[in-house]
Amino acid sequence: MGLLGIAFALLTPNLWALSDLGLKFCLKKESWWKILVLAQLFGGIFMLAVSLLAGENLSFPIEWIGWVILLSLIALVATAAYYRAMDEREMALASPICNSWGIVTILLGVLFLGEAVNPMQWAAILLIMGGVFAISLKKGAKLEFDISLAHAVVSMLFWGMFFFLLKLPGEVVGAAFIIAIAKLLTGTLIFPMLSRKGISIRDTALSSIALIALMGALDAGGFLAYLLAINELPLYLVAPIASAVPVLGVLLGVLVLKERPGRLQALGIVCAIAGTIILAL
């Protein structure tokens, strides 16, 4: 198994978890609408620079334009639902559900790409996903399906579809370029909502802009690491490792945000880490 691919796969959740932490700090100062627009534009510019430096094909064959537009719209829904869920719920609950998209990606890969998963890998996947679910349950809390949970589930489903559909056109057009377009399009299409919500970017403090820019770069860096990982390893190995963001998210919540996980969360962390190690063997 490619050690380089494993390294990139493990780097992915670290970058995304740090981006999530930055988002929670930003949400204390700014509207999630503003953060969404700025972070996606900054991240899109970052990925566009990567695409140019990598010499990717920036021309769109006619037959792939529809795919790129579809991917961009899926990413828009997934991103907007994710930011909304993170704004409405604590990181320890929203992040695990949103980042369970690996289940969707894996199932689509098995169904449509014929990728094989052996019993040990299935067990590891179940450990990770079970751990993610356990992490989302706080002591004494009930998991109720309200609107904020619906946003998290929508984000999970659409991110799963996005990462599955990304592989095919990404081999022709360039995956980094597609992600850049998706991010830039998301920021551009959401931008008019700022005016409707009475939100102005002009009054944003430079410190907030710097933090949002860093958050956008970390998020884009996670995508880049993911792309490099799937070039070395099959989807069914990369997706569960990449979607283990909540494991790190809970640790960051404890160390930085001073959150205190309950027993179920602690058990979930152990299960998710164990599953990740099994997949990496």
**What pLDDT, in 10s, does the model give residues 81-132?**
999 988 887 787 777 778 777 778 777 888 887 777 778 878 877 887 787 7
Cβ atoms within 10 Å of 69's Cβ, excluding its own: 14
| 8-state DSSP, 9 | H
Task: Give the separation between CA 99 and CA 156, rounded to whole angstroms.
Answer: 6
pLDDT tier at 248, thresholds 50, 70, 90: confident
Top pLDDT among 21 and 92 is at: 21
Query: What mean pLDDT is predicted for residues 130-151?
Result: 65
Stated length of the chain: 281
Mean of pLDDT over the chain: 81
pTM: 0.79
> Residue 42: pLDDT band by 50, 70, 90 thresholds?
very high
**pLDDT confidence of residue 37:** 93
Q: Provide the pLDDT for residue 88.
A: 84
**Distances in whole angstroms, Cα of residue 76 to Cα of each of 14, 39, 188, 259:** 23, 13, 10, 30
Residues in CB range of 218: below 8 A, 6 or more apart? 15, 16, 18, 19, 22
pLDDT of residue 256: 84
pLDDT at residue 244, as a whole number: 73
Q: Where are the alpha helices (DSSP H) in 28-61?
A: 32-53
Q: Please tell me the predicted confidence (pLDDT) of residue 146.
A: 61
Helical segments of 118-262, H only: 119-135, 147-169, 175-196, 206-230, 235-242, 245-255
